[in-house]
Amino acid sequence: MSILVTNGRVIDPSQGLDDNLDILIERTKIKELFPRGKGPKADRTIDAKGCIVIPGLVDMHTHLREPGFEYKETIATGTMAAVRGGFTTVCCMPNTNPVNDTVAVTEFIIEKATKEGSCTVLPIGAVTKGSKSEELTELDMLQKSGCVAFSDDGLPVSNSLIMRRALEYSKIFGIPVISHCEDPALAHGGSMNEGFISTTVGLKGIPNAAEDIMVARDIMLSELTGGQLHIAHVSTEGAVRLIREAKTRGINVTAETCPHYFSITDDSIKGYNTNFKVNPPIRTSGDMSAIKEGLKDGTLDVIATDHAPHHLDDKDREFDTAAFGISGLETAFALGLLLVDQKVLSLKQLIRKMTVTPSKILNINKGTLTPESDADIAIINLKKKYTVDSSNFLSKGKNSPFDKWELKGTIEKTISMGKVFDWS
Amino acid sequence: MLETRNLLGIKELSPEEIYSILDTAAGFKDVLRRDIKKVPPLRGKTVANLFFEPSTRTRTSFELAAKRLSADVINFSAPTSSVLKGETLKDTVLTIQALGADIVVVRHSSAGVPHFLSRIQDMSVINAGDGANEHPTQALLDLFTIQSNKKKIKGLTVVIVGDIIHSRVARSNIYALTKLGAKVRIICPPTLMPVEIDKLGIEVHDSMEKGLKNADVVMMLRLQLERQSKGFFPSLEEYYNLYGLTSPRLKLAKNDAIVLHPGPMNRGVEIESEVADGPQSLILEQVTNGLAVRMAVLYLLSGVKK
């Protein structure tokens, strides 16, 4: 089955392309690129007039919740939400139930994804057994069975010695340890950013220091060991500063941030709306500026979603006990486009941070339109406006603080391994 | 008159609304001096006390206030309810609404619960204390007490001493006093100071000797032992040595300074008995005023159309 995508503006940062090109897809692969109109006849033609045609987005931080929390999301619904948001590759974090700390769980996830998923699912294996920060998992077996990175995300690796060992040992495989940076004692009991707002709403806060301390620790351990470190969901000004400084000294560290950290600040918590409750928490405008600066100067390499769907029962309650997390796959790219409007990033830089850069960090052959790579494509109308309606999300998780936001940039079609999803 | 059907906090009240409540409370204080302490405005209405945290004072006060206004009262106390069977807050309040209550008075350990309740059902919600956020009727009765004795709020120097970081009484009072033009100071160890609280336009001190100078009102907070984690201060004895209100320390305030305490007191921890029982203490008057203020709040809220 061949598909020709024609009439679109093809932007592929991995090849330095920004041109009017046709793309020929054969079965699950990209066959060849042609100048516009010069592409051969195909079984199906997709007219991408008025749209950009880019590599399918790669999310290196998603929670698919299966196995164990299927009431919040399944691999089927989560990957559907992914393609709806223009993502064709998602890396799922291991804080499932059971935790993905064995080959059995990794294989389960991969098999489920093959049978029921709508896009490529690459599991991230736990660093420690049960994510308890006590014993290393069998990292070799995990990566051989398909894990592309290691993380205890949801939790920090609180034992510094174990984090050291993980960074050292992972050098065998050349894949990153992704760190959720949070000092448990400092953060304990907090449900939002510690600052003026938390003082006025009477909620216990999580200080920036809780994140910065672990970022500093992990950078030093990466320096000590030479291990490949990737900092997850950066939210603070201090973390950006530390990562920037570490990079100038050539330390093997990369970092990601998420759309909520560059789109909203903690004064939106005044109404106690639990859709704004997330870990790390949404911070101040000073932190938001630093995040944008970090994206602009390359300190923050990747925009990931940290898609964290929750059932209404876990959110529709008192703020203290509500679950942490934002359902982010279906709003990520459009929020990224706001950065382009604000001249924080160019369109190419935005696309780069969501395609080729995460792929390089994970050493996977995704995020590119190079011939022979997988037919993963997102066709996006940059100018079309729409209003976010979280009740209509394809994800089971409707927990979004962006509900009713007026955004631009609709995903018109997503092609995942040659399968076309038409959203128009 | 009140603009809103709910009393979620002082943050949401204008100075005019605050004065309206205080004026109405003055009227009800008169009622409480009569032989027959009953008036009919809430006859046929039902007030539900929804208390998820222990309370003798506030709950009894609200119950009595509702009865004095001729309302029917239902009392819900978490430890003896289906909450123990795992029933959610949401289901509990919807059940109470289904039973026909008109006003729900809620106290809960989580900040934002009254706001949450106001979104999910139609009864009027009165915040009787939500976590460390607010305790608006306490601040209102404190204002009433100050005003009764000092004839004004504006320009007074009011000092609040104690476990500010965990105190909803402190927050509500800070909002109320600053809204009405008082000069507010807090005194506490740095470990009990909320982050950036000076941005609320108040003075912050860690010394009684410095902070009490020329105060018109000294408001002592109970050291909230049940809300502490370790590490805020080394011992109660050390706390008393540094921050206890003793007679010598009270002399640093103005000669006619008044002493308030929301109760219950930890005698010998935050306040010396001699001061608590002394001539400058209005602690018991606060309780009486609390009844009048809560009658005023119930009366004004029940009059606001849906």
Q: Looking at chain A, which residue has its C-alpha nearest residue B109?
A: A320
Do B115 and A271 count as a contact with CB atoms less than 8 A apart? Answer: yes
Q: What band does B227 get if pLDDT is binned at 50, 70 and 90?
A: very low
- For position A50, what pLDDT does the model report? 97
Instruction: Identify residues of A whose CB sits under 8 angstroms from chain B CBs.
Output: 189, 194-196, 198-205, 207, 271-272, 313, 316-321
CB distance B44 to B123 below 8 Å: no
Enumerate the residues of chain A whose CB falls inside 8 A of the CB of residue B130: 202
As a whole number of angstroms, the distance between CA B84 and CA B56 comes to 21
Distance from the A403 Cα atom to the nearest Cα atom in chain B, whole angstroms: 17
Q: What band does A232 get if pLDDT is binned at 50, 70 and 90?
A: very high
Q: What band does A220 get if pLDDT is binned at 50, 70 and 90?
A: very high
Task: Reply yes or no: is the peptide bond before residue A98 cis, omega within 30 of 0.
Answer: yes
Instruction: Reply yes or no on whether the pLDDT at A293 is more than 60.
Output: yes
Tell me whether residue B37 is one of the annotated catalytic residues: no
- For position B305, what pLDDT does the model report? 55
Do A189 and B90 count as a contact with CB atoms less than 8 A apart? Answer: no
As a whole number of angstroms, the distance between CA A49 and CA A379 comes to 10
- CA distances B143 to A394, B167, B283, Å, are 52, 17, 13
Instruction: Identify residues of B whose CB sits under 8 angstroms from chain A CBs.
Output: 11, 88-90, 108-113, 115-116, 120, 130-134, 168, 171, 194-197, 199-200, 229
Distance from the B192 Cα atom to the nearest Cα atom in chain A, whole angstroms: 12
Lowest average pLDDT, out of B107-111, B150-154, B214-218, B231-235, goes to: B231-235
**pLDDT tens by residue, B73-104:** 999 988 888 888 889 999 999 999 999 999 99
DSSP secondary structure letter of residue A71: T
Enumerate the residues of chain A whose CB falls inside 8 A of the CB of residue B194: 198-199
Q: How far out from the chain centre does Cα A247 lie?
A: 21
As a whole number of angstroms, the distance between CA A150 and CA B168 comes to 43
**Residue percentage of chain A with pLDDT more than 70:** 100
Do A317 and B199 count as a contact with CB atoms less than 8 A apart? Answer: no
Task: Over range A288-303, report the average pLDDT.
Answer: 98
**pLDDT tens by residue, A45-54:** 999 999 999 9
Catalytic residue among B33, B34, B85, B119: B85
For residue B41, count CB atoms less than 10 angstroms from its CB and return exposed for 0-12, middle for 13-18, buried for 19 or more: middle
Tell me whether residue B85 is one of the annotated catalytic residues: yes
* ipTM of predicted assembly, 2 dp: 0.90
Do A319 and B130 count as a contact with CB atoms less than 8 A apart? Answer: no
Q: What band does B1 get if pLDDT is binned at 50, 70 and 90?
A: low
Enumerate the residues of chain A whose CB falls inside 8 A of the CB of residue B133: 201-203
Which amino acid makes up residue B223? L
Catalytic residue among A266, A306, A374, A376: A306
For residue B195, count CB atoms less than 10 angstroms from its CB and return exposed for 0-12, middle for 13-18, buried for 19 or more: middle
Q: For chain A, report the end-to-end CA distance as a whole number of angstroms.
A: 22
**pLDDT tens by residue, B254-279:** 999 999 999 899 998 899 999 999 99
As a whole number of angstroms, the distance between CA A48 and CA B258 comes to 77
Distance from the A205 Cα atom to the nearest Cα atom in chain B, whole angstroms: 9
CB distance B252 to B209 below 8 Å: yes
- List the single residue in A202, A205, A320 with the smallest CB-CB distance to B195: A205
DSSP secondary structure letter of residue A156: -
Distance from the A313 Cα atom to the nearest Cα atom in chain B, whole angstroms: 9
Which residues touch B89 (CB under 8 Å, ≥6 apart)? A317, A318, B52, B108, B113, B116, B117
Distance from the B112 Cα atom to the nearest Cα atom in chain A, whole angstroms: 6
Task: Over range B192-200, report the average pLDDT.
Answer: 96
DSSP states of A320-376 as a string?
GGSPP-B--TTTHHHHHHHHHHTTSS-HHHHHHHTTHHHHHHHT-S-S---TTSB--
Distance from the B196 Cα atom to the nearest Cα atom in chain A, whole angstroms: 5
**pLDDT tens by residue, A381-391:** 999 999 999 99
- For position B231, what pLDDT does the model report? 81
Distance from the B115 Cα atom to the nearest Cα atom in chain A, whole angstroms: 7
**pLDDT tens by residue, A204-218:** 999 999 999 999 999
Bridge partners, B245 (sequence order) = B271
Tell me whether residue B267 is one of the annotated catalytic residues: no
How many cross-chain Cβ pairs, A to B, lie less than 8 Å apart?
64
Catalytic residue among B46, B58, B92, B137: B58
**pLDDT tens by residue, B41-81:** 999 999 999 999 988 889 999 999 999 999 999 999 888 88
Do B195 and A194 count as a contact with CB atoms less than 8 A apart? Answer: yes
**Total residues belonging to chain B:** 306
Do A203 and B194 count as a contact with CB atoms less than 8 A apart? Answer: no
Enumerate the residues of chain A whose CB falls inside 8 A of the CB of residue B131: 202-203, 320
**pLDDT tens by residue, A86-135:** 999 999 999 999 999 999 999 999 999 999 999 999 999 999 999 999 99
Instruction: Reply yes or no on whether the pLDDT at B141 is more than 70.
Output: yes
Catalytic residue among B135, B171, B179, B249: B135
As a whole number of angstroms, the distance between CA B63 and CA B73 comes to 7
For residue A103, count CB atoms less than 10 angstroms from its CB and return exposed for 0-12, middle for 13-18, buried for 19 or more: middle
Enumerate the residues of chain B whose CB falls inside 8 A of the CB of residue A317: 88-90, 116
For residue B66, count CB atoms less than 10 angstroms from its CB and return exposed for 0-12, middle for 13-18, buried for 19 or more: buried
Enumerate the residues of chain A whose CB falls inside 8 A of the CB of residue B90: 316-317
Q: Looking at chain A, which residue has its C-alpha nearest residue B116?
A: A318
Which amino acid makes up residue A240? V
Bridge partners, A9 (sequence order) = A20, A52
For residue B81, count CB atoms less than 10 angstroms from its CB and return exposed for 0-12, middle for 13-18, buried for 19 or more: middle
Which residues touch A190 (CB under 8 Å, ≥6 apart)? A203, A204, A205, A206, A207, A210, A281
Helix-strand-coil split of chain A, %, nearest 5: 35, 25, 40
Catalytic residue among B5, B37, B57, B150: B57
Q: Looking at chain A, which residue has its C-alpha nearest residue B171?
A: A200
Provide the token pair at B77. 């106390």
Element of type H or E holding A137: none
Report the candidate in A327, A258, A330 with the shortest Cα–Cα distance to residue A80.
A330
DSSP secondary structure letter of residue A44: E
